Amino acid sequence: MFDSLTLAALPPEDEDIRPAIRALIADAIATLPTDRRARSWAGFDADFSRRLGAEGYLGLTLPRAYGGGGRGPFARFVVVEELLAAGAPVAAHWIADRQSAPLILNFGTEEQRQAYIPKICRGELFFCIGMSEPGSGSDLASVRTRAERTAAGWRLNGQKIWTTNAMHSDYMIALVRTSGTAADRHNGLSQLIIDLRAPGVTIRPIVDLAGDAHFAEVFFTDVDLPADALIGAEGEGWQQVVAELAFERSGPERIYSSVVLLDAWVGHLRSVGRDDRATRTLVGDFTARLAMLRAMSIACTARLAAGESPVVEASLVKDLGTSFEQELPVRIGDDLAAHPDEPVDAELHRTLLYVTHLAPSFSLRGGTREILRGIIARGMGLR
Amino acid sequence: MMDIQELVEPFARMLQAIAPASTVRAIEQGARIDALWAEIAGSGYLDALVAERDGGAGLDGLCAHGLWQELGRHIVPLPVGETMIARALLAGAGVPAPGGPIALAVAAPGQDAMVPLGRVAEHVLVDDGRQLYLAPAASARGEPTGVAGDLGASMRWETLEGLAWIARPECGLRAMAAVLRAALIAGAADHLVTVTAGYCNDRVQFGKPIGRQQALQQNLAVMAEEALAARIASQIGCASGLTPSLAAAACAKSVASAAAVRIAATAHAVHGAIGISHDHDLQLYTRRLYEWRLSDGSEGYWNDLLGGAMLASADTAVDFARLHCR
């Protein structure tokens, strides 16, 4: 079953990117303590994103004509893997590079492509995605934020919530209702590009349980948008969103959220010289699964590179990957506290607790575990 | 190199025709293996991994994986994958291979070794840690395990002296056999996912197919994930050919072994009492998943070695996986 997912190798020309991006990252993270690096793709540094853009590491999958790298999903995999493995702060450009620019390329007009994609590739325009609302979490088709046609374009009213990085972003691509009611479900939904500096937009950061403000609620009160705020076809928003899911759910970010902690813990074991059988077995278990998950993510990337949209396969990768990410802090915590007389430095302790506290979010963001398993079951012919 | 599917599909069709569950059961009960072996030997696939310069097909590791997966999917009750490995090693050393089935064992003289399919092998390639000996099965003191339906044997050689021997590959026979077991697990696991999902759609309780119950859907999704994990990990083990790196073999067998028991558990949970019965085919598959998990090192054995290598290196986790588990 799911036979299309099979071992694939990263092409040598894409592997060749590694040394240069690695040097750039080393420079950026030199002064970041481990528990900051553990923020992974929640770490925000606009200057670093601009530097990545200037060096040609953003928009790698996009055509050169729009300022992209003209490469493909494998090249992007290598760059993203290096960034996440090191815990580099990638939040500023993350959504724009992964989803917004490809969406605009696929569904946008030529004017929209010219207006947004080159700046995204330079790391100058940051995007967020407006999906969840107070009454719409997993049941996304029930969104109530509404855009009405006006003589000049659209008038937007409603509210988004849990929007990652809204307060640092220039634009939001939001899923909103443009016709019908919530009872029409997937029909009547459209995607709009919203200038977050437009009058009537209010953004309130929400502080998370670790004390960070990485997500926000966003209110729209009679926000007037031009006609070309619509991206793709009116009423096709749901289909467009579904087409993005394979990009969103199969990447290394679904495997590596706890990898900075893993490396910090292994560093601790090496420094205290603990390598008894139980320790080796635990390290081996993590290593085997990391290698398997990485290969699975590359296998999914190969389907993307072949022009497919492996939504079910991406769900398999994300569910397995986030389970692994969540298990790491639990078992590493047990291991460290099972050796109470072994000194643990404060940075590792903070990293462990940060990842422990945030880990439940790994299987919420980008589609909950239960929703993904439903998608997989349907892909298996159940229901 | 031929497309993998072009090679695997005729092999799968052949196995479907010559090794139905009834044949598997008959051989488990002691029926002769000659007819089944003659079909497989006559197909030419036994020399699939023998290098072209030695007169074989010279298939690469991932093609071998495809064939081994089919052997697992059809729970073929003969050491076909083992014989492929043995014949490739023998041919590489210029030693003529015997015509019959060859099992694999890791055993020093005087040490008992559990040999999967040992009861239906004519020869055993024995790794004593220094060399590989081609031992007639009759040269060992062999005992059936006494486990229901088990074709494995406990075997022991008091001495290996005087037997034909060849050089031992650096990775040892256990790593090669472990990768084979991982691929067999992946094949049987994939079959169980398909039949278990099918059973969910057929079996009606509370007025609807049990596959409509969300609790079962969630469990089946996890089962599919485990089967996919076993497939990808076992492919990692095969990627570099017949002789895997320690890290690649460890990744393959660790992940596949851990998946094997969980896949068997879900398959049985869904099938209910009928799956425990001798007459239902489910037990043919789950018994083998348990056997393959325990053969040639469980997840604990390989995790120990892999973790030791990881700790002894200076690599990050991602770099270690990238550079060594391949």
Q: Is B241 on the interface with A (CB under 8 A)?
A: no
Unique residue bearing structure tokens 């007459």: B279
Query: Is residue B221 located within the same domain as residue B290?
Result: yes
| Count of domains observed in chain B | 2
Q: Is B221 on the interface with A (CB under 8 A)?
A: yes
Superfamily of domain A250-379: Butyryl-CoA Dehydrogenase, subunit A, domain 3 (1.20.140.10)
Query: Is residue B56 located within the same domain as residue B188?
Result: no
Number of cross-chain residue pairs from A and B with Cβ atoms under 8 Å apart:
174
Q: How far is A346 from chain B (nearest CA, A)?
A: 20
B317 with A266: Cβ contact below 8 A: yes
Query: Is residue B147 located within the same domain as residue B192?
Result: no
Task: Tell me the C-alpha distance between B51 and B14, whole Å.
Answer: 23
B306 with A284: Cβ contact below 8 A: yes
Domain boundary among the residues B167, B198, B233 is at B167
Query: How does strand B102-106 pair with strand B113-115?
Result: unpaired
Domain boundary among the residues B132, B167, B202 is at B167
A285 with B303: Cβ contact below 8 A: yes
Q: Which residues contact A138 (CB under 8 A, 6 or more apart)?
A: A367, A368, A370, A371
- Give residue-wise pLDDT tens across range A200-252: 999 999 999 999 999 999 999 999 999 999 999 999 999 999 888 888 888 99
B317 with A372: Cβ contact below 8 A: no
Task: Tell me the C-alpha distance between B174 and A321, whole Å.
Answer: 29
Q: What is the ipTM of this complex?
A: 0.97
Q: Is B69 on the interface with A (CB under 8 A)?
A: no
List CB contacts (< 8 A) between B236 and chain A: 7, 291-292, 295
- Give residue-wise pLDDT tens across range A139-177: 998 999 999 999 999 999 999 999 999 999 999 999 999
Q: Is B203 on the interface with A (CB under 8 A)?
A: no
Query: Is residue B178 located within the same domain as residue B155?
Result: no
List CB contacts (< 8 A) between B312 and chain A: 275
Interface probe with B: pick from A2, A287, A327, A335, most Cβ of B within 10 Å: A287
- Give residue-wise pLDDT tens across range A114-136: 999 999 999 999 999 999 999 99
Domain boundary among the residues B167, B192, B210 is at B167
Choose among A66, A71, A154: nearest CA to A110. A66
Query: Is residue B214 located within the same domain as residue B251?
Result: yes
Q: What is the pLDDT of residue B177?
A: 98
Residue B1 has pLDDT above 80, yes or no: no
Task: Tell me the C-alpha distance between B194 and B62, whole Å.
Answer: 22
Question: What class, spelled out in words, does domain A12-125 have in CATH?
Answer: mainly alpha
List CB contacts (< 8 A) between A275 and chain B: 308, 311-312
| Number of CB atoms found within 10 A of residue A207's CB | 10
List CB contacts (< 8 A) between B216 and chain A: 382
Mean pLDDT of B68-89: 98
Domain that holds residue B199: 172-324
Name the segment(s) of chain A with CATH classification 1.10.540.10.
Answer: 12-125
A292 with B197: Cβ contact below 8 A: no
Query: Is residue B133 located within the same domain as residue B184?
Result: no
Query: If you write DSSP's letter for every residue of A80-103 in order, what string do you get?
Result: HHHHHHHT---HHHHHIIIIIHHH
Query: Is residue B123 located within the same domain as residue B202?
Result: no
CB A62 within 8 A of CB A247: no
Query: Is residue B243 located within the same domain as residue B216?
Result: yes
Question: What class, spelled out in words, does domain A128-235 have in CATH?
Answer: mainly beta
Please, what is the average pLDDT of chain B? 97
Q: What is the pLDDT of residue B2?
A: 53
Query: Is residue B153 located within the same domain as residue B180?
Result: no
Query: How does strand A127-130 pair with strand A171-177?
Result: parallel
Structure tokens at B96: 């003529």
List CB contacts (< 8 A) between A376 and chain B: 220-221, 224-225
Interface probe with B: pick from A14, A254, A272, A281, most Cβ of B within 10 Å: A281
List CB contacts (< 8 A) between A2 and chain B: 224, 228
Task: Tell me the C-alpha distance between A234 and A191, whole Å.
Answer: 8
- Give residue-wise pLDDT tens across range A81-97: 999 999 999 999 999 99
- Give residue-wise pLDDT tens across range A284-311: 999 999 999 999 999 999 999 999 989 9
- Chain B, residues 178-197, CB within 8 A of chain A, namely 190, 193-194, 197
Residue A52 has pLDDT above 50, yes or no: yes
- Give residue-wise pLDDT tens across range A331-370: 999 999 999 999 999 999 999 999 999 999 999 999 999 9
Backbone angles phi, psi at B141, to 5 degrees: -85, 110
- Give residue-wise pLDDT tens across range A184-197: 889 999 999 999 99
Q: What is the pLDDT of residue A357?
A: 97
List CB contacts (< 8 A) between A25 and chain B: none
List CB contacts (< 8 A) between B321 and chain A: 287, 290-291, 294
Nearest to B325 among A2, A266, A291 (CB): A291
Query: Is residue B49 located within the same domain as residue B158?
Result: yes
Task: Tell me the C-alpha distance between B311 and A335, whole Å.
Answer: 15
Q: Find the radius of gyration of the CA atoms of chain A.
A: 21
A286 with B317: Cβ contact below 8 A: yes
Please, what is the average pLDDT of chain A? 96
Query: Is residue B149 located within the same domain as residue B105?
Result: yes
Q: Is the entire prediction scored with pTM above 0.95?
A: yes
Q: How far is A314 from chain B (nearest CA, A)?
A: 11
Mean pLDDT of B254-276: 98
B307 with A284: Cβ contact below 8 A: yes
Nearest to B250 among A284, A370, A383 (CB): A284
What are the residue ranges of helices labelled H in chain B? 4-18, 21-28, 34-43, 61-73, 80-92, 172-202, 214-238, 246-271, 282-294, 299-312, 317-324
Interface probe with A: pick from B63, B245, B304, most Cβ of A within 10 Å: B304
Nearest CA in chain B to A300: B232
A1 with B303: Cβ contact below 8 A: no
